[in-house]
Amino acid sequence: MPADLLETLNPEQRAAVTAPGSALVLAGAGSGKTRVLTTRIAWLIQTAQVSPMGLMAVTFTNKAAKEMLTRLSALLPINTRGMWVGTFHGLCNRLLRIHHRDAGLPQRFTILDGGDQLAAVKRALRALDVDTDKYDPRKVQSFINQHKEAGVRADRVEAWDPYSRHLAEYYAAYDAQCQREGAVDFAELLLRAFELLSRNALLREHYQARFRHILVDEFQDTSRLQYEWLKLFKGPQGALFAVGDDDQSIYAFRGAHVANMRLFLHDLAIAEPIKLTRNYRSVSTILDAANAVISHNADRLGKDLWTDAGAGEPIRHFEAGDDAEEARFIASEIEARRSDGEPYRQQAVLYRANAQSRAIEHALFSAGIPYRVYGGLRFFERAEIKHALAYLRLAAWPDDDNALLRVVNFPARGIGARSLEQLADDAAAAGTSLWAAACRAGRKFVPFVQLIEALRQEVTGLGLVAAVEHVVVRSGLLEHYGNDRDGAERIDNLTELANAAGAYAAESDDQSLEGFLAHAALEAGEHEAAQGQDAVQLMSVHAAKGLEFFSVYLTGLEEGLFPHDNSLNQQGGLEEERRLMYVAITRARRQLYLTHARARLLHGQTRYALPSRFLDEIPAGLVRSLSRRIAPAPSVAVAPAAAPVRRTASQPFQVGARVLHPRYGEGVVGAYQGQGPDTEIRVRFPKVGDKWFILDYARLTAVG
């Protein structure tokens, strides 16, 4: 029966599944990686090379582990309960629970998530009477995690100055506190499990004898410590089977070490990886573009994807005047493809930075196109944006109780729940707002009251963009997130809020803070698509890994944005950005759009950028550039309306003229709005009613 498992595999997949001993499988995007991994497990069990309890499979997400077990159950009639299939952290937790005494832990040790860990760090610092203005708890937490992830304990930290020596002391104090309390953070799970197997030869030999086959998914994303942990399980007779793609290694910021793939070949004396290059996802035009881009990276293991699915349509490239035009163009193309029968859910808009979603969300919202932000929050729902809007609301109207409750202790001012309960009681008793009660309260609320009073005075007379920028800085939000290990993206979002204000002022001719706050509230309303509704998917390129769509709109392809400025100053940074571009391209199955803007609003200022170098790395023969398409003037005279509109280059049809649209049929021009490249035209169609088009992309012709 083994042939039944193998008969549907292509030759490359079959070679991987049946490889003797250890192997590295270089699995290209869309090449059937998960299928190979699960079939390998089933084949090993079915051919009696190992029992279900004699192998271990490691993934990076619980979702991937569950999918592996589900597929395995479909391939073989076995009970998967009890199999060692899970994430690195999940399997380390399992190991430490079984051998808690040897690991120096209580049987019921607790696991700290990120928030719990930060609270524990703060307690440790308070116990040492540390000045938290000088040693921010988030930076201390980051210092601890970075060293644990590198396998370095506090007594081995290289400290060359008083500052780093103090950080090492706080690391040691935090660890001692966790040990007393029987608590383990995420980084500790892996490090403690690694140390357990490293020092305990009997235990290590037991697991080496038990797990004769170890299989690893997404091997390109492993850290140095994770790879060393895996090697501890591989005994002299064991086999380590790793599946990954060095061209899709995009998580260096999380500690991923792409060089592990070459180390694997060296350490296990493997001459060449097994390459899976046949792609079952995309048309060849998209694959040829991906191959061309990634070929500019040096030190690859090397592979070219191919398919027999045909060439498909050319990649479509659009250069916009600014980011607003870019977003409107995308919305227009999405609607056109939807009219051609392509569901919204099979169309995805990808961006390098989450802050880019704001302009795209606005364009989709304005066009009435349903959307969902995948793996994240819509712009106006993000915590840092809500904090900033709360400060702006208080600057405009301090009696806003909800806004006050949101930021009265953010950033932290030592105002706890008990103080807020007393404040609420005082306000209720006096029949006033919380703000009025705070003005009467004791010294604990004085700094906050003084801050809001200052904001109210300082924004008076400022333009809208300047007012937003001032409040974001003066509130302390920028400084707060600047001290956060993962705060860079939140800072980008806060600066994008000023862009949102600028866009609102330009569109509405309104500079009032009150007007902008009302606009933000409307866009933050229940406009996102409901669960299960057909909707466009918006996401960062990082979040898109592992997903696929009929059509992909890859936006913001400008130098400094993609590739990102930060990458150009880091060793290997540009190569990782190029791998990110490769991942983005290979998400598309049928159609890929590449867009960029000559000008983009950043920090409330217009920034002019060059097109991304990645565009130049795609062969011109694969790309069709979309220029503005303005329909010609009608060739026959049209009877003048009561108030005729003169035909011009920007208004090629008179109001009342009959026009033809390739999808909606014949209609009548009703109105124009806007000017220049922003000109929009309204056409009334008998079957579908009024439709607004960006004139440059309207694809209208005169009926005469």
Please state the φ and ψ torsions of residue 284, each to the nearest 5 degrees. Answer: -70, -30
Total number of residues shown for the chain = 704
CA 633 to chain centre: 45
Contact by Cβ (8 Å): 49, 213: yes
Q: Find the catalytic residue in 12, 149, 185, 217.
A: 217
- Comparing CA positions, the residue from 625, 614, 593 lying closest to residue 292 is 614
- Amino acid letter, 456: R
Q: Find the catalytic residue in 12, 13, 33, 393.
A: 33
- Please give the Cα distance from 158 to 135 (Å, whole number): 18
Contact by Cβ (8 Å): 406, 386: yes
Per the listing, tokens 């997949």 go with 13
Known catalytic membership, residue 386: no
- Please give the Cα distance from 533 to 500 (Å, whole number): 27
Contact by Cβ (8 Å): 88, 228: no
Please state the φ and ψ torsions of residue 444, each to the nearest 5 degrees. Answer: -60, -30
Q: Find the catalytic residue in 148, 328, 352, 587.
A: 587
Q: Per the structure block, which two tokens stand in for 242?
A: 């790793």
- Please give the Cα distance from 324 to 502 (Å, whole number): 11
Q: Find the catalytic residue in 38, 220, 248, 285.
A: 248
Known catalytic membership, residue 326: no
Helices and strands, counts by H and E, the chain:
28, 21
Known catalytic membership, residue 587: yes
Known catalytic membership, residue 217: yes
Q: Find the catalytic residue in 34, 49, 61, 511.
A: 34
- Please give the Cα distance from 249 to 300 (Å, whole number): 11
Known catalytic membership, residue 71: no
Q: Find the catalytic residue in 175, 218, 528, 696.
A: 218
Known catalytic membership, residue 248: yes
Contacts of 73 (CB under 8 A, 6+ apart): 80
CA distances from 105 to 93, 144, 475 (A): 11, 19, 43
Contact by Cβ (8 Å): 36, 44: no
List the catalytic residues.
33-34, 217-218, 248, 587
